[in-house]
Structure 1
Amino acid sequence: MSREAPLGVFDSGVGGLSVLAHLRRTLPGEDFLYLADTAHVPIGARPDEEIRDLTARAVAALHERGAKGVVVACNTASAFSLTHLRERYGTGDEPFPIIGLVPAVKPAVAATESGVVGVLATPGTLRGSLLQDVIRQWAEPAGVRVLTVVSADLVPLVEAGRAASDEAREVLREVLTPLRDAGADQLVLGCTHYPFLAGSIRAEFGDTFALVDSGAAVARHTRNVLCGSGLLREGERGGSVTYLVTGDPERARPVITTLVGEGGQNTRVTQVTT
């Protein structure tokens, strides 16, 4: 696998664009293939085996298109699929790194002053074992109380380009008020869609919570993995991004354009089959 090949990034929808932004800043010489499985989003309420199958199909599609590795920029997909993916792609003669997300409980625990950390999760992330594993590893030994809340409504709102809508703020007010009342001062954003809700969270709760997500950490880790595998493409040339979706590209294009902050003519979205 050549270091000149692009790096794949996968999410069930457009949420992984929040991770892609960190990757582009940390890895300015890399080209990226971003694949959003918009035909099946949201995946959090789907059966475990279906989540693994959809993720495996997406990673296979990126591999077939020449990606040199894949960042699974989805908390739910990471929770259910990383072990299976690494078993499948870790046995070849050439390295094909699979990099996933871990809920950012560790930095939230380190930063809390109140001793209470909130986690805003999706149904799938809450159901998986990864979140509970990191809570046991980092919060329990520190005596920090972790409170989890879940919403099935927020991801569809971000996918529809309505992260700043009154409806999004109403949902956030309903699900986050118990965390505020319990004294949480850190809010772990347990889905890559949720950083796009930061403005709405601030509008409702001000500085009540410090917002913590995994984007910057996974970008640093990705750089280290690529360097260790001999796959890092150095340079400051400003790598390109190819946007792929499994659903309607015309529906996805304006949302992607808004979230990445590029001009409409700069955002080409292509439909693919996984």
Structure 2
Amino acid sequence: MPAAWDADQYLRYAGERIRPLNDLLARVPDLPLRPTVLDLGCGPGNSTAVLRRRWPDARLLGLDTSPALLETARTTGEPTAEYRQQDVAGYDPAPERPDLIASNAALHWMDTDTADHLALLPRWAAALRPGGVIAFQLPGNFAAPSHTLLAELRRSPRWREQLGTVRPDASCHEPARYLETLLAAGCVADVWETTYLTVLTGTDPVLEWVKGSTLRPVLDRLPEPAGRAAFLAEYGAELRRAYPATAHGTVFPFRRVFAVAVKA
């Protein structure tokens, strides 16, 4: 079952979350006039709004599995776009004949029981018009304490029955794998990584950050308020030790993997 997303929680750090997309799109070459642009895993529409500003005359289509996020996208994200509730992992974009397929911080959620998201890239490349572009970025911090501590806690005696098999602990390949896959799909590709040293403020800021993303499937398995509060207290304490507050805030290293590929 897809995670029950909370648009308000996700957008709590909207500026920090959207910065990698701006850096990604800065490397996308010019598109034709009135291009068809797909935002796959569009979430609450914040990424769709960035795409609209970059290509104001585009036919812009956003797809996501979450009704709650799509409602936010339609009302306050980017109302001028088209939206569709869609399982992106099973979606074939070929009928749209896209000029750009963009995916912002969503590709790692598209793994299935039989294939990971790497298998989607050849399908996306085949769907593009000649000269079309794939542009995506996704988190590469699955080996960071924010994720490893969560995995350890899920498997601890207290929580493993409820949480031990929530989802895989890592869903990002090394950049070279994305490069190899995109080249094999007939693209000219540029793949790189960046680690942002994000300074978060407030009470338990790393916990608040992951509540909007990584923690969503876990919270779905903890519907009872007492159990949820106990888990968050335990996990929050671990995060405070791993990411201590400083006089200027809490430094949260935020590694991202990027790719821009042009269909030859």
User: Same fold, TM exceeding 0.5?
Assistant: no
Q: Tell me which protein shows more helix as a share of its residues.
A: 1
Greater relative contact order (CA < 8 Å, ≥ 6 in sequence): 1
TM-score (ref. length: structure 2): 0.37
TM-score (ref. length: structure 1): 0.36
